[in-house]
Amino acid sequence: MISAVLASGATQWAMQPGATDNFAAGVASGHQRGLLATSPVDVVSSDRHTVKPWLDARLGLSPPAPDMAKDGFALIGGRVEVIGGRAVPALVYRHREHLITLVAEPQNAGAMTDPFDLSEGGFSLAQWSDGAFSYWAISDMERPELDDFVARFRAAVVTG
């Protein structure tokens, strides 16, 4: 009897989605809502000096928002996402006909991680961390194009 209870509890624990899975699903839901909305952003601007203060006024923080228009990834604005009951900043970029939502989850002295694939809900999804933010980039673009965006974003943040 004890073995059955322990096995059942272990199975239930193992089958529960992890925090990363839940956050990825929230990022995918937010991106899909943005695609279906009249406007995918709350503040429309290609100027990071408009988007960052707007996010900071609402959340008390804002992620880097590099201008990558010359690379084919134009900032079109930002919005506030609520994922797992927490409000987090999201930047929205356009690449040709595709939108890219970049959610930046604040971290307290988090570890730096390289991008990895967490595709979710029919979208290409990449996640990485720079220690200050855990970034989640999602789009309906092909995976190599999203990887290109991630590489360019990371390089632009470093060169600032």
pLDDT in tens, the chain (160 residues): 444 433 444 334 333 445 678 899 999 999 999 999 999 999 999 999 999 999 999 999 999 999 999 999 999 999 999 999 999 999 999 999 999 999 999 998 778 888 988 876 689 999 999 999 999 999 999 999 999 999 999 999 987 6
Three-class SS state of 100? strand
Element (H, E) at 107: none
CATH number of this structure's domain 18-159, picked from the four choices 1.10.10.60, 3.40.50.970, 3.30.413.10, 3.30.200.100: 3.30.200.100
pTM for the full predicted model:
0.85
Count other Cβ atoms within 10 Å, centred on residue 14. 7
> Which residues on adjacent β-strands are paired with residue 95?
98
